[in-house]
Chains A and B, each alone.
Chain A
């Protein structure tokens, strides 16, 4: 049985899209069949990262109930040197579509949750996908909470920025706890190297202490990542890079998790 993983954060710019894309690709390279979905309808970015502008159908259409999910998924396996193992679903980046998605009412959101929940049947059970990754909007958005409710595991990206830490703590307590979601933290853009080299155990304790949930991984601030300017699939283009190794460790841990 496959897993649905939602990647979320309290603040924007914590690296959700970068982390979800690279985790999804890493798992695909490990032999899993993976689908990556951009559920950030307010600021779609996967279409830009993968340079895909003409989808037959967008995830917006799927949630609106005007097309089925097969029409939305785009096979990107060849991009990562694979076959039938990496698919993406895109959010429509046009301003009109963003405006349309931000004016939905509660009944629409309820139906959208139903459509997200039914992906478990249509993709995991029927199409044999091992993973669905939801890349979400930051903070408490309807679309993000829908994604969290539909997911088996929530990966929360946080920096060590104080407002990020405090907001993430509140979100864990007031949102994830209420939904009884299995949650793990990724600390991203970590500056101090000593914490990385000698103190993973210490960080693990700190994260457990501060957030009350396990640490999935720590990503240092890599200039190479900034230099890539969000134009490449990092783990595919730079297989020897330390970032790629860290993604490998996180992917292996997610793969082993019993949910």
Chain B
């Protein structure tokens, strides 16, 4: 049993359940990515350099389904999968998968704040 598990056992049941839920959400995101990889093939998701710029020419060359997500995030600046889904009228889980793909490809950055995951374009940090 790891140290963190031992720590958890000492806490209240509610906190344990929250931790489980958080882990399940992370697992869910990973599964969504795997499902998408199966659907579209690996070719288009090969990770690029960690500093791939998300410029307009890159947007143009993207597959349609990813371009829509990337364009929406360009407009919003920083957003959760839920906020992107509201703009694109696609399911949250779908946007979550696409956003995570864009993170893997090196175009987006992801940051967790509590339970929420925020996606953004790291414009200033590059170059």
Asked whether A207 is an interface residue with its Cβ less than 8 Å from the other chain, the reply is: no
Contact with A along B55-66 (1 / 0, CB 8 A): 111111000100
Residues of A within 8 A of B67 (CB): 178-179
Kindly state the interface size class of chain A when it binds its partner: 10 to 19
A178: which B residues are within 8 A, CB to CB? 60, 64, 67
Q: Is B12 at the interface (CB under 8 A from chain A)?
A: no
* A111–B124 alpha-carbon span in the complex (Å): 7
* CB nearest to A181 among chain B residues: B71
By the criterion CB–CB under 8 Å, are B77 and A149 in contact?
no
The distance in angstroms between the C-alpha atoms of A52 and B22, with both chains bound, is: 59
Q: Known interface pairs A145-B60, A178-B64, A178-B67. Does A110 touch B55 (Cβ–Cβ under 8 Å)?
A: yes
Separation in Å of the B103 CB from the closest CB of chain A? 16
* A114 contacts B by Cβ under 8 Å: yes
B53 touching A114 by the CB < 8 A rule? no
Tell me whether B57 and A111 are in contact (CB under 8 A). Answer: no
Q: What residue of chain B has the Cβ atom nearest to residue A148's Cβ?
A: B56
Q: How far is the CA of A178 from the CA of B63 in the complex (A)?
A: 10
Instruction: Check: B74 CB closer than 8 A to any chain A CB.
Output: yes
Choose among B60, B64, B71, B121 the residue that contacts A114 (Cβ–Cβ < 8 A).
Answer: B121
CA A111 – CA B53 in complex, angstroms?
A: 9
Number of A-B contacts (CB under 8 A): 52
Docked CA distance A185–B21 (Å): 52
Interface size on B, residues (CB 8 A): 20
Q: Which residue from B68, B123, B127 sits with its C-beta under 8 Å from A180? A: B68
Tell yes or no: A117 within 8 A of B by CB. Answer: yes
CB of A108 within 8 Å of the partner chain? yes
Whether B56 and A149, one on each chain, are in contact in the complex, defined by CB atoms closer than 8 angstroms, is yes
Residues of A within 8 A of B58 (CB): 106
Complex contact A106–B60 (CB within 8 A): no
A147: nearest chain-B partner, CB-CB: B56
List chain A residues, Cβ under 8 A from B53: 106-107, 109-110
- CB of A145 within 8 A of CB of B56, answer yes
**A2 to B39 Cα, complex, angstroms:** 40
Q: Which of A174-208 contact B (CB under 8 A)?
A: 175, 178-180
Chain B residues whose C-beta falls within 8 Å of the C-beta of A146 in the assembled complex? 56
Task: Report Cα–Cα, A118/B41, bound state, in Å.
Answer: 35
Q: 5 more A-B contacts (CB under 8 A) besides A106-B53, A106-B55, A110-B55? A: A107-B53, A110-B123, A117-B74, A149-B56, A180-B68
Instruction: Give the top 6 A-B pairs by smallest Cβ distance, nearest first.
Output: A107-B127, A110-B55, A145-B56, A110-B53, A114-B123, A106-B55
- Provide a sorted-by-A list of 11 A–B residue pairs whose CB atoms are within 8 angstroms: A107-B53, A107-B126, A108-B127, A109-B56, A111-B123, A111-B124, A113-B56, A118-B77, A145-B56, A149-B56, A179-B59
Q: What residues make up the interface of A, taking CB atoms closer than 8 Å to B?
A: 105-111, 113-114, 117-118, 142, 145-146, 149, 175, 178-180
Spell out B's residues near A (CB within 8 Å): 53-60, 64, 67-68, 71, 74-75, 77, 121, 123-124, 126-127
